[in-house]
Amino acid sequence: MPNYVVEVVDLHKVYPDGKEALKGLSFNVKEGEIYGLIGPNGAGKTTTLRILATILEPTSGEARIYGYDVKTQAEQVRKHLSYLPEEAGAYKYLTGLEFLEFIASFYAKNEEEKRRMIQEAWRISGLGMRIKDKIKTYSKGMLRRLLIAKTLMVHPKLAILDEPTSGLDVINSTRVRKIIKKYVKEYGVTVLLSSHNMLEVDYLCDRVGIIHEGRLIAEGAPEELKQKYEAENLEEVFTKIVGGEEM
């Protein structure tokens, strides 16, 4: 039996306004893999990631991280993951370095580990001496790089990344993807990510789950999906599947 880091079984989420965001979603993420959730806007991707990050509670169904229930054992779940929302922010009147020091103080067991985290995050961010500038002076791309560094520096068992390269140019997007791959290989980090960038998903992900209207409608390795749907790339796979569902 595979060792599942994430287990989602028949997950439902109904918001107070009656909107049903998830309609029986089920999938698993294995230890040490990069699993990508893709789907059109409003498909339920972000809702799923927020439930797994213990920010939202599911209406029904089960979701477990390393065997811990996200609803009843949220405190234990949070010890195993680091979450990067798509619209994450930072304390704009701190410098980038001060922000990293602040975050590291919550995770580091001692000063030596804290210094290691900060140095590593500084390197990941690629901000150079701009790390000492106020965050309010950062571009969207610079802020995103700082937040990705903050997420990975703690070496989480599970990194949940919602649109990890949002706002980044091609060079920095490529750099971030390589860093994510490196962390999986060197530190055994498991990654669950959502992205609209099919090139990114194809490059990064071991397996992909396509969700539409709150349900999983296809799943597999990128190459398997391309072969199955006789497509040249994931974008074409996505269009064929989602287009067919909508018709």
The domain limits of the chain are 88-155
Residue 48's closest CA among 67, 33, 68, 28?
28
**What pLDDT was estimated at residue 32?**
93
pLDDT of residue 147: 94
Kindly report the pTM of this predicted structure: 0.91
What pLDDT does residue 245 have? 53
- Alpha-carbon distance of 217 to 241, in angstroms, equals 8
Residue pLDDT, tens place only, 224-241? 999 999 999 999 998 888
Handedness of CA 233, 239, 245, 247 (dihedral sign): negative
Comparing C-alpha atoms, which of 138, 66, 65 is closest to residue 99? 138
- Measured CA to CA, the distance from residue 90 to residue 97 in angstroms comes to 12
Tokens of 161: 């990344």
Which residues of the chain fall short of a pLDDT of 50?
1, 246-247
